[in-house]
Amino acid sequence: MTEPLLQVRDLALHFYPARRLFRRGPALRAVDGVSFDIAPGETLGLVGESGCGKSSLGKALLNLYRPTSGEVRMHGRPISALSDRQMRPLRRDMQMIFQDPFESLNARHTVGAILEEPLIIHREGDRASRQKRVAALLDQVGLPQSAQDKYPHEFSGGQRQRIGIARAIALQPKLLICDEAVSALDVSVQAQILNLLLEIQRELGLSMLFISHDISVVQHVSDRIAVMYLGEIVEIGEAQAVRQHPAHPYTQALLAAVPQLGAEQLPVVALEGDMPSPMDMPTGCRFAGRCPHRRPKCEETAPRLESESLHSRAVACHFWREISPQLP
């Protein structure tokens, strides 16, 4: 069996408000006991509503946010406790593509300087070899060589995201974390960027964590899908199995909202109310207050992520076998 590239175990990320007199307020539990693996060359899609902790999780994997507890391993090496200096060599292998390419690009630098910067930081080659690498990166993401002398504000949103992708792959990483990488783009441009990411993944053998609130996008690019709700993963499994036979009521609700052309439409699942506050978690199942199938046990006892090996998935729901569509 192939050794996972990335291993995450019981990862938690809690934020604490400013200490008040004699006491500290309740923690904001952005990520709460998350576990998963990503294999070499695999894409894991991470989906959920805004505010469920997806982006916080992505940043915690890179130590941009320091995890409160749990463990992250890259190439089998624990990295959660590493200092920024110790993390620097690992950042060659772990890169992030952000939602807003304009804010993530230095407006004062030309595109050429932006793409050359990681090569300089990691002491890659001389000036001539770096310039050659910048030219190759622009070709790889479909931008003209004339882009080198221009500034980020001179490009469209889709072009700026191509620049962000070029910068992320400059050091030929092993893992890309794509944080809502296409959500700010028009639908037609989204398709172009998704195709570019898949092409680059094939060329470089990359692993990807693809984070999005849009399950219709996630299901088309992922090998497996993890569904996140209020800091926890409530379902994880092979993309086709999750797409065709969602087991958790929350996954069913997300997929039912997506029009299915040429396929049987899933029954509409109406969600009640809003997501609870991560500073005031429900006692039992975190989804119980919005679930149309809730029972007394759901409000009293939190379900564990239960593995179902036959269907290559795990589900955190007491009654998922009863309420999910007929599995093959």
Span 229-245, pLDDT tens digits: 999 999 999 999 999 88
b/e 256-277 (16+ beta carbons within 10 angstroms → b): beeeeeeeeebeebebeeebbe
Amino acid code (one letter) for 47: V
Q: What values do phi and psi take at 30, rounded to 5?
A: -70, -40
**Count of alpha carbons within 13 Å of 322, Cβ hemisphere only?**
6
Of the pLDDT bands very low, low, confident and very high (cuts 50, 70, 90), residue 136 is very high
pLDDT exceeds 80 at position 326: no
pLDDT exceeds 60 at position 105: yes
Burial group, residue 308, by CB count within 10 angstroms (0-12, 13-18, 19+): middle
Look at residue 111 and tell me if it is in a domain.
no
Q: Which of 113, 116, 114 has its CA nearest to residue 101? A: 114
Question: Where in the sequence is the domain holding 257, given as residue range(s)?
Answer: 248-328
CA torsion angle for 130, 131, 134, 135 (degrees, to 10)? -140
Look at residue 301 and tell me if it is in a domain.
yes
- Asked if residue 173 lies in contact with residue 94, where contact means CB atoms within 8 angstroms, the answer is yes
CB count in 10 Å sphere of residue 39: 16
Look at residue 292 and tell me if it is in a domain.
yes
CB count in 10 Å sphere of residue 93: 16
Of the pLDDT bands very low, low, confident and very high (cuts 50, 70, 90), residue 134 is very high
- Asked if residue 207 lies in contact with residue 176, where contact means CB atoms within 8 angstroms, the answer is yes
Q: Which of 306, 299, 296 has its CA nearest to residue 284? A: 299
The whole-number average pLDDT for the span 135-160 is 95
pLDDT exceeds 90 at position 17: no
Q: Which of 23-37, 64-78, 177-191 shows the highest mean pLDDT?
A: 64-78
The fraction of the chain above a pLDDT of 90, given in percent, is 69
256-304 pLDDT, tens digit per residue, is 888 765 556 566 666 777 888 888 888 999 999 999 899 999 999 999 9
- State the pLDDT at residue 297: 95
Is this structure's pTM higher than 0.75? yes
Look at residue 290 and tell me if it is in a domain.
yes
Look at residue 70 and tell me if it is in a domain.
no
The whole-number average pLDDT for the span 169-184 is 94
Amino acid code (one letter) for 104: S
Q: In whole angstroms, what separates CA 120 from the centre of its chain?
A: 28
- Name the pairing type of β-strands 43-47 and 224-229: parallel
Look at residue 95 and tell me if it is in a domain.
no
Q: In whole angstroms, what separates CA 192 from the centre of its chain?
A: 19
Amino acid code (one letter) for 227: V
pLDDT exceeds 60 at position 69: yes
Q: What angle (nearest 5°) sits at the alpha carbon of residue 107, between those of residues 102 and 112? A: 100
Look at residue 232 and tell me if it is in a domain.
no
- Name the pairing type of β-strands 313-315 and 94-97: unpaired
- State the pLDDT at residue 310: 46
Q: Across-strand partners of 20?
A: 23
CB count in 10 Å sphere of residue 94: 24
How many folded domains does the chain comprise? 1
The whole-number average pLDDT for the span 133-156 is 96
The whole-number average pLDDT for the span 37-47 is 96
- State the pLDDT at residue 266: 60
- State the pLDDT at residue 262: 54
CA 208 – CA 211 distance, rounded (Å): 9
- State the pLDDT at residue 24: 65
CA 53 – CA 28 distance, rounded (Å): 10
- Tokens 């991560």 found at: 278
Look at residue 211 and tell me if it is in a domain.
no
The whole-number average pLDDT for the span 77-87 is 91
- State the pLDDT at residue 146: 96
